[in-house]
Structure 1
Amino acid sequence: MGASALMNVKPVRWLGASAPGGLILPDAKPKRNQLYAPRHVFLDDQYLVVSDSGNHRVLIWRGLPADDHQDADVVLGQPNFETEGPGLLHLPTGTGIWEGRLYVADAWHHRVLVWERVPETINEPPSYALGQPDLQEIRPNCGGAIGPLGFYWPYGIAFVAGWFFVADTGNRRVLGWKGLPEVGQPPNLVLGQPDFYSGLENRGQSAGPNSFRWPHAITGDEHTLYIADAGNHRILGYSPLPDVDGPANLVLGQNTYYETREMPHVPQGAHRLRFPYGVSLAHGILAVADTANNRILLFTGPPRTGVGVPAVEVIGQTNFEDSGENRWKAVGPDTLCWPYGLWLHNHLLAIADSGNNRVMIWRVEESSHDTS
């Protein structure tokens, strides 16, 4: 399938302060419409949630913003929209709303915070934490050794086919629960390690189909689980969804399960990845944030097994060969600089364009859809 398979791909919304022409750092004092190095974004029919990671806060918009640079409605992690710095949150990353609850991966506090309802007012406190015994503890692995109930830099979270997953990045593993977990509930599954008490990079060996270096983001459906193994420059896919540890049967970004090459400063093509930090699946489209190549790759089908499957469309670059930040030109509505988190919903792709301090929303539809 050629690159023309997805012909309806275009930017529709820009959130975050404008950067006319060149990169502009945010002001020292944050604002309601300003972002600083956002690392994740979630979108559904009711809410847009952004991890404004550099400002150590989460911003919420009620519904899809109608205008570019629109003010956020709610801030979490700060007492107001003008305060920044670590507090309740320290580098928040993954976000999601499932069964009416808001989940935020508070990565550098080594926990996932849960609000039992989506907050409607500024700085509402979370209901409880996963990965820590209470809301006061913030040490890696609950202050002890690696175990089933602790996290070390949990960057990514997902709810896939009734399973809740956490990319426990610092422990080089993915944990899974059947259903949404409650406080103190141990996981049912560990991927990437032989047990719940191990945390070696690539299991202490060379990379393979059952190991991770930096698992960072997760997506999937009832057929396949996809994990962005950023440090090994690849996406691993498991079909069917695993309920025990085992090897993946799909790898994107590398030519084998044992290869972990990064290839900077050369034409990238449609199948290479460099530090893929984000991944999202919806409507038969798999979107991958090829972060260090400053682009988003789109795969249709989606691929479920195989090795080195090529993408069919690219966002952020004009072709599959280039990889420059903002195409080595000015910041524009269709350029990217170090995109991190992604979320596909209702043919809209929200991109945390971290290096440009903004979130971009694109319409992404296959050519068989009518967008007139």
Structure 2
Amino acid sequence: MGTDRLTAYPERWLGGTAPGGLALPPARPNRIHLYAPRGVYMDDDVIVVADSGNHRVLIWYGWPGNDHAPADVVLGQADFETEGPGLFHLPTGVAVIEGRLFVADAWHHRLLIWDRLPEENDQPPDHVLGQPDLAGTAPNRGGEVGPTGFYWPYGFAWIDGWFYVADTGNRRVLGWRGIPEDRRDPDLVLGQPDAYLNSENRGKGVGEDTFRWPHALAGDGRTLFVADAGNHRVLGYTPPPEKDRPAELVLGQKDFTGSFELPHVPQGPRRFRFPYGIALFGDLLAVADTANSRVLLYTGLPREGAYHPASHVIGQTDFDGSGENRWQAVAWDTLCWPYGIWFHRNRLAIADSGNNRVMVWRVEFS
């Protein structure tokens, strides 16, 4: 893994098995199989997975006692055998915040909230953000870009009293002091001059204050990290911004104006191709380097500067590897297009989308 201070190994596999070295979903959904999951959350009590390809969210109560364990609850479908867009259209980010379940219903351009963790199948949400009501599903509430609408909100985060949304299609990050249940205007619009503009890279080109596809967020109260997937980089803001301003940190590029991406060559420890996920555990930062089918780990949390190297890699045997399942077969320690990731203490959950599974890795320091 790179040093003797950190070791990581897979501990649990959720989703179907991989006969013949492939993990394929069945023709009809069930309680076990997943189809292109893009989001995952875990804590001591639950594991929640955005089973994106099946347009549903699955919940496991407690730590699964074995691999391929069946889910306990399904949301967005009447039962475990139903599929297709309904309540959800490509759900992505999921998290439990202060006992409440949040789901980024990305292609319905909204976030859905349950006041308590659902214990019944197909339980309806209690609140919606980004739309006037639960019937609304149009981008930007059916109008032009504004402060209270979303366009493909793929990710969100609750950090040190701030609620952030990666409003991906509007190329911005929105932030509220507290959770905006009253649908009030955001306290922060990051990446655009105001709440009524949504140009790619602000219409001026890649810079220290622009986004192409902001996709996921993490932070610790000292720094806000934004996975700017379309520019193949992660930006860091120290301290977390209270108004639009440039970032102090860029990972994945040599400087703040770069958006370099070159597939099928040795990638090394400094570059990304479409980093769609990000997670934080103490001073350990994890980045889902999605198109390189790996997760990069940074020890000694970087907060400023550019082009810092990762210290460890998950999913490949070394930093030069970038193949889907290492160009071989699905194995316990391989990845294929990992998307959402989540740290809970020293467990890292990975939505291994291309392998139609979620893998939970144990990360230990010695």
Smaller-chain TM-score bracket: over 0.9
Q: State the secondary structure of the residue aligned to 1:94.
A: strand
Residue equivalent to 2:57: 58
Post-superposition shift, 1:264? 1.1
Residue equivalent to 2:234: 235
Residue equivalent to 1:95: 94
Q: Percent identity?
A: 64
Computed over aligned residues only, the root mean square deviation of the Cα atoms, in angstroms, reads 1.0
Contact 1:74 1:120 survives alignment (8 Å): yes
Post-superposition shift, 1:46? 1.1
Residue equivalent to 2:271: 272
Residue equivalent to 2:136: 137
Cα pair distance change 1:245/1:5, threshold 3 Å:
farther
2:300 is aligned with 1:294: no
2:28 is aligned with 1:29: yes
Aligned-partner residue type, residue 59 of structure 1: L
CA distance in structure 2 between the partners assigned to 1:99 and 1:345 by the alignment: 15
| 1:141-168 residue CA offsets vs partner (Å, 9 max, x unmatched) | 0000100000000000100111000000
| 1:328-357 residue CA offsets vs partner (Å, 9 max, x unmatched) | 111000000000000011100000000000
2:304 is aligned with 1:314: no
For structure 1, the 5+ residue unaligned runs are 368-372
Q: State the secondary structure of the residue aligned to 2:44.
A: coil
| 1:68-122 residue CA offsets vs partner (Å, 9 max, x unmatched) | 0001111000000000100000000011111111100000000000001110111
Residue equivalent to 2:179: 180
CA distance in structure 2 between the partners assigned to 1:22 and 1:181 by the alignment: 45
What TM-score comes out, normalization by structure 2 length?
0.99
Q: Which range moved further: 237-246 or 13-22? A: 13-22
Residue equivalent to 1:166: 165
Contact 2:23 2:330 survives alignment (8 Å): no
Post-superposition shift, 1:5? 5.0
CA distance in structure 2 between the partners assigned to 1:340 and 1:313 by the alignment: 18
What TM-score comes out, normalization by structure 1 length?
0.97
CA distance in structure 2 between the partners assigned to 1:186 and 1:115 by the alignment: 21
CA distance in structure 2 between the partners assigned to 1:364 and 1:329 by the alignment: 25
Output aligned runs, 1:242-257, within 5 Å.
242-257=241-256
Q: State the secondary structure of the residue aligned to 1:67.
A: coil
2:341 is aligned with 1:349: no
2:223 is aligned with 1:224: yes
Post-superposition shift, 1:24? 3.9
| 1:152-193 residue CA offsets vs partner (Å, 9 max, x unmatched) | 000001001110000000000000000111132211001000
Contact 1:236 1:252 survives alignment (8 Å): yes
CA distance in structure 1 between the partners assigned to 2:225 and 2:297 by the alignment: 14
CA distance in structure 1 between the partners assigned to 2:235 and 2:4 by the alignment: 24
Post-superposition shift, 1:301? 1.6
Contact 1:283 1:347 survives alignment (8 Å): no
Residue equivalent to 2:47: 48
Residue equivalent to 2:75: 76
Runs of 4+ off more than 6 Å = none
Q: State the secondary structure of the residue aligned to 2:239.
A: coil
| 1:117-137 residue CA offsets vs partner (Å, 9 max, x unmatched) | 110111100001000010001
Contact 2:16 2:24 survives alignment (8 Å): no
